[in-house]
Amino acid sequence: MLPFHQLPKPLAGIAEKVSAGERITDADCLTLFRQASLGLVGTLANQIKERLHGNKVYFNRNFHIEPTNVCVFSCQFCAYSRLYAHREEGWELSIEQMLHLVKRYDGKPVTEVHIVGGVHPKMDLAFFSELLKAIKAHRPSLHIKAFTAVEYDYMFRKAKLSVQEGLTRLKEAGLDSIPGGGAEIFAPTIRQQICADKVDAEGWLAIHRTAHEMGLPSNATMLYGHIESFEDRIDHMRRLRELQDQTHGFNTFIPLKFRNKDNDMSHVKESTLTEDMRLYAIARIYLDNFSHVKSYWPMLGRQNAQLSLSFGVDDIDGTIDDSTKIYSMAGSEEQHPTLSTEQLVHLIRQAKRDPIERDTLYNVVNDFSIPVN
Ligand code: V47
Ligand code: SF4
C-alpha cells in the first residue's frame, strides 16, 4: 500500500485523522465506502483494533435458546419465522423445555445464555419473567442476554407498560443485558421495504437508551448487503454513534451479513467477501466510541470470520451448539454451527492473534495466549 501522503488527497486526509486517533465525519465515511481500497481500510481498521486491544481477540462460551419461531411480524429477509396463522409449522417451547435446555449445560463452563426468537402473541411479559426467574433460580451466575428491542416493544405495549416499567420487571426477574438484534437498517425508506411492521428506528433506539440509563448494557447490529445504500449504512452507524456518545451503554457492534436463502428477498444478491471485509473495517473506523466489533461466525462462516480479524474485528461470537437456526435457515455456510472452545482458540491462533475468553461484559475469564519464553 502507498504511504499516506501518496494517496489521493481526500483519502490521505482521512488516513491521517485515523492515525491521529481523530473521529471521521459522515462525508469521510462515504469517501471510504466509495474510494478506499480494501488494503487501506484494512490497515486503518487494524491500527485502531491494535490500539484498543493489542493482539487480543475475544470469544465467550455461550448457548442459545430460541423460545419460538412463530412471529406476528413478516420481515422480508427472515427465513426463520412462521406467521401465527401457520403456527403448527413452527415451534413453541414451554418454560420446562427451556429450563431443560439450560440444565444440559450443568457442570459445563458456559457463562452466558442468549435468548431470542420470534414475537409470539401468547408469550408475554409474565411468561418471560417466569422464564428468567426459573433460569436464575437454577443457575444464578449465568448471564442472561435476552430479547431484542422488537420483542420488548411488542411485549411492553401489550402489557400497557412503559419501556422503563417493562425493563424494570425483567431486570428484577434476572435480565442482565440486551442483544443487538432488530436494528436492521434504520433509514425509513429501507425499513419500510424490508420490515415495515415492526418497531421503527426511534423505538429501537429509545429502548436501548432506556436500558443503558437503567444500567443494562446492550449490543447493536446492522443488517447489511441487501438494498441499502452506503448513505443508509452511514445514517445507521451515525445514530448508534450519537447514542453511544450519550450513554456509553453499547458493548459491541455486530454487522450482520444478509443471507438470501428461503426468504422473500431471495432475488437480492448477497454481498461479496471483499464487500464484507470493507464493511467491517469501515465500521471499526467510523464507530470510534465502540470498544468492540464482533463478527458473528455462524452467519459469516468460520474462515471468513477468521479473515475479519485482519479488518478491525476483535471478537468472534461464542462457542455454541447447533442451537441457533436464524442463519442456517437463511443459507449460511454454517448449517450446524458448532465450534468447541479448542477449535475457536485454534482459529484465532491461526490468525496469529491471542485468544481471550471473556464474559458478556468483557471481563477476562481465561487467557489462552501462548506465553512468550
Ligand atoms: O435482527 C434475520 C438477523 C438478527 C437474516 O447481540 C438475518 O450478541 C442475515 O441480532 N440474513 C437476530 N441476518 C440475531 C442477532 C444477534 C446475533 C448474534 C449475536 C447478537 C448479540 C445478536 O438476525 C435479526 C436480523 O437482523 N437476520 N434473518 C438473514 N436472512
Ligand atoms: Fe419476526 Fe424477527 Fe423474523 Fe422479523 S426477523 S419476522 S421480527 S423473527
C-alpha neighbours within 13 Å on the C-beta side of residue 356: 17
pTM, two decimal places: 0.95
Q: In the prediction, which pLDDT does 81 show? A: 83
Q: Which ligand is nearest to the CA of 177?
A: 1
Q: What is the 3-state secondary structure (H, E, C) of the chain?
A: CCCHHHCCHHHHHHHHHHHCCCCCCHHHHHHHHHHCCHHHHHHHHHHHHHHHHCCEEEECEEEEECCECEECCCCCCCCCCEEHHHHHHCCECCHHHHHHHHHCCCCCCCCEEEECCCCCCCCCHHHHHHHHHHHHHHCCCCEEEECCHHHHHHHHHHCCCCHHHHHHHHHHHCCCEECCCCCCCCCHHHHHHHCCCCCCHHHHHHHHHHHHHCCCCEEEEEEECCCCCHHHHHHHHHHHHHHHHHHCCEEEEEEEECCCCCCCCCCCCCCCHHHHHHHHHHHHHHCCCCCEEEECHHHHCHHHHHHHCCCCCCEECCECCCCCCCCHHHCCCCCCCCCCHHHHHHHHHHCCCEEEEECCCCCEEEECCCCCC
Counted residue by residue, the chain has a size of: 373
Distance CA 11, CA 323 (A): 43
Domains of the chain: which residue ranges?
Answer: 4-43, 57-366
Top mutation candidate among 80, 198, 221, 261 for ligand 1, by most atoms within 8 Å of CB: 221
Under the phi-then-psi rule, with left for phi > 0, alpha for psi from -120 to 50, and beta for the rest, what region is 200?
Answer: beta
- For ligand 2, is residue 154 a contact (CB within 6 Å)? no
Q: What is the pLDDT of residues 135-163, one digit of tens each?
A: 999 999 999 999 999 999 999 999 999 99
Q: In the prediction, which pLDDT does 86 show? A: 77
- For ligand 1, is residue 87 a contact (CB within 6 Å)? no
CB-based contacts of 90, cutoff 8 Å, min separation 6: 68, 69, 70, 81, 82, 118
- For ligand 2, is residue 282 a contact (CB within 6 Å)? no
Distance CA 214, CA 203 (A): 17
Q: In the prediction, which pLDDT does 366 show? A: 93
Nearest alpha carbon to residue 151 among 129, 130, 182: 182
- For ligand 2, is residue 33 a contact (CB within 6 Å)? no
Q: Which ligand is nearest to the CA of 181?
A: 1
With respect to CATH, is domain 57-366 assigned 2.30.29.30? Answer: no
Nearest alpha carbon to residue 309 among 295, 296, 288: 295
d(CA 260, ligand 1 centre) in Å: 13
Whole-Å CA distances, 46 to 51, 111, 278, 308, 349: 8, 28, 12, 10, 17
Distance CA 149, CA 136 (A): 22
Q: Which residues of the chain have pLDDT under 70?
A: 1-2, 320-337, 371-373
- For ligand 2, is residue 145 a contact (CB within 6 Å)? no
Distance CA 27, CA 231 (A): 9
Q: In the prediction, which pLDDT does 98 show? A: 97
Q: Which three cell numbers stand for residue 70?
A: 412463530
